[in-house]
């Protein structure tokens, strides 16, 4: 029988060590983090393989051999993190503090905490002498926050033999979601597809001492106003319909999101929660960068707005661009960069095993298939035919909304939530 208290304490210490290694991306230097994980694995009797295409951007792969009765199960996670401004945090973002029952730090949820869960479950399986039906592969990756090209993409292109698997578990899904007094655990089976768009508007240039009222700056302002005030058309995917119907059993008002004529009204009533539901029901085009002008006294002749576009599963880029054109108007130049991907995983026996694992560990909770509005490394592994489920379980309290902490200030993971994830992943390995 496992000593879960000792396992929890060991995992917390390892997570603290990993959080204290600053892997902010950009610029992205994950070498020390990968070496730390490799050292842990070597101490546990593994022989990890470390490969890299770009200096200081290595990937780590370790394998626990199974019985060979089915293909491998891949546990994949990234060790790079998004930037953190210490001025916005209650605690230093790279100190790995333990306080108020949580481990604090950039990456605690996204996704160094999940990497430690995966590593710990793998180590426990080896210590117990488990022989799963298939091999279990642990893969720690760089670069996910800027596209995954130095890590997952590189492995799929150059070392597919290291990561080719029957099924994979990755980030985002398996966190507690509180709706109508009930607990739900979304398990990611699909994700949106990224499409970067550059929108350029042009106008007369001139000296800043003499106003130009209809120049590029004015046109850019109009484009920004339209992008931020208007939604693209609604589209209901099968996985989102199933997700909303499940949550609607606890909060019937959410069922209004299934009626196109009522969506805007329901979103208006949801407050901060509306952001998540809006993204699940629409292609989105969010302006993130604006560039124009080089000198304070020169009116620029061109302004470019970079837009983070996200397409729902099944939507074609041509349809998305047509929706965007209808919002921004005909006077803007639109260029796009789009990488098609098919990351949808089936709601099958393997999914049901994941769901049952969660529901056993948290009686009364309900696990549901879900679409995630972000983009993960799952799309790279999909090129090898590997379906990925977002399953990085963490039990949260009602005062810790997942998406506000994900990429947000004061990111943290409950100590008990970390242990919950380790126990869930351990059960998955036992049943594989």
Q: DSSP states of 26-68 as a string?
A: TT---HHHHHHHHHHHHHTT---EEE-SSTT--EEEEEE---S
pLDDT digits (tens, 9 = 90+) for 254-279: 999 999 999 999 999 998 889 999 99
Identify whether 199 is preceded by a cis peptide bond (ω within 30 of 0): no
**CA-wise closest residue to 179 among 17, 321, 368:** 368
Answer yes or no: is pLDDT of 340 > 80. Answer: no
The reported pLDDT for the residue numbered 113 is 98
The reported pLDDT for the residue numbered 342 is 74
Query: Who's near 56: CB < 8 A, 6+ residues apart?
Result: 28, 29, 30, 31
The reported pLDDT for the residue numbered 331 is 87
The reported pLDDT for the residue numbered 2 is 85
Give percent of the chain above pLDDT 90. 94
Please give the average per-residue pLDDT across 76-99, as a whole number.
97
How sure is the predictor about 1, in pLDDT bands with cuts at 50, 70 and 90? confident
CA 349, chain centre distance (Å): 24
The reported pLDDT for the residue numbered 341 is 74
Domain boundaries defined on the chain: 4-172+376-431, 191-338
**CA-wise closest residue to 52 among 146, 162, 194:** 162
How sure is the predictor about 343, in pLDDT bands with cuts at 50, 70 and 90? confident
Say if 4-172+376-431 and 191-338 have the same CATH topology: no
Structure tokens at 252: 């019937």
How sure is the predictor about 374, in pLDDT bands with cuts at 50, 70 and 90? confident
Residues 104, 107, 111, 117: is their CA dihedral positive or negative? negative
Q: What is the mean pLDDT of the chain?
A: 96
The reported pLDDT for the residue numbered 369 is 97
Reported as half-sphere exposure (CB side, CA atoms, 13 A), residue 302 has a value of 6
CATH class of 4-172+376-431: alpha beta
Answer yes or no: is pLDDT of 402 > 90. Answer: no
How sure is the predictor about 56, in pLDDT bands with cuts at 50, 70 and 90? very high
The yes/no answer on whether domain 191-338 falls in CATH 3.30.70.360 is yes
CA distances from 13 to 92, 111, 125 (A): 17, 16, 19
State how far the Cα of 194 lies from the Cα of 197, in Å rounded to an integer. 10
pLDDT digits (tens, 9 = 90+) for 108-128: 999 999 999 999 999 999 999
How sure is the predictor about 327, in pLDDT bands with cuts at 50, 70 and 90? very high
> How buried is 50 (Cβ within 10 angstroms: 0-12 exposed, 13-18 middle, 19+ buried)?
middle
Give percent of the chain above pLDDT 70. 100
State how far the Cα of 135 lies from the Cα of 70, in Å rounded to an integer. 8
Answer yes or no: is pLDDT of 328 > 80. Answer: yes
């Amino acid at each position: 029988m496992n000593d879960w208290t000792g396992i929890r304490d060991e995992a917390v210490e390892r997570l603290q060590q990993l959080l204290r290694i600053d892997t902010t991306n950009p610029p992205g230097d994950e070498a020390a983090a990968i070496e730390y994980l490799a050292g842990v694995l070597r101490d546990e009797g593994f022989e990890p393989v470390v490969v890299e295409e770009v200096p200081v951007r290595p990937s780590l792969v370790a394998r626990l051999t199974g019985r060979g009765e089915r293909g491998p199960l891949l546990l994949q996670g990234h060790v790079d993190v998004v930037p953190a401004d210490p001025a916005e945090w209650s605690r230093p973002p790279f100190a790995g503090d333990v306080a108020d029952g949580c481990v604090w730090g950039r990456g605690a949820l996204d996704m160094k905490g999940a990497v430690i869960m995966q590593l710990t479950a793998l180590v426990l399986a080896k210590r117990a002498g488990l022989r799963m039906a298939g091999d279990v592969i642990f893969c720690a990756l760089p670069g996910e926050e800027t596209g995954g090209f130095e890590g997952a993409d590189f492995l799929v292109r150059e070392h597919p033999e290291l990561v080719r698997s029957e099924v994979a578990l990755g980030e985002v899904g398996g966190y507690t979601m509180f709706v109508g007094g009930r607990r739900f655990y979304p398990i990611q089976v699909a994700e949106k597809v990224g499409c970067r768009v550059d929108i350029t508007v042009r106008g007369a240039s001139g000296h800043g001492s003499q106003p130009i009222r209809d120049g590029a700056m004015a046109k850019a302002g109009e484009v920004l106003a339209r992008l931020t005030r208007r939604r693209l058309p609604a589209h209901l995917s099968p996985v989102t319909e199933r997700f909303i119907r499940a949550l609607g059993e606890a909060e019937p008002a959410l069922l209004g999101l299934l009626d196109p004529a009522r969506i805007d009204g329901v979103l208006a009533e949801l407050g901060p929660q509306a952001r998540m539901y809006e993204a699940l029901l629409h292609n989105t085009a969010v302006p993130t960068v604006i560039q124009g002008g080089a000198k304070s006294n020169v009116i620029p002749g061109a302004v470019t707005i970079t837009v983070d576009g996200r397409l729902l599963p099944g939507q074609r880029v041509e349809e998305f661009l047509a929706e965007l054109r209808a919002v921004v108007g005909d006077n803007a130049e639109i260029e796009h960069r789009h990488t098609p991907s098919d990351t949808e995983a089936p709601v099958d026996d393997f999914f049901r095993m994941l769901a049952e694992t969660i529901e056993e560990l948290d009686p009364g909770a309900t696990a549901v298939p879900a679409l995630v509005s972000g983009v993960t490394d799952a799309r790279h592994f999909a090129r090898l035919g590997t379906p990925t489920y977002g399953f990085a379980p963490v039990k949260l309290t009602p005062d810790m909304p997942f998406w506000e902490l994900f990429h947000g200030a004061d990111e943290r993971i409950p100590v008990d939530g970390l242990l919950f994830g380790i126990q869930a992943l351990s059960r998955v390995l036992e049943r594989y």
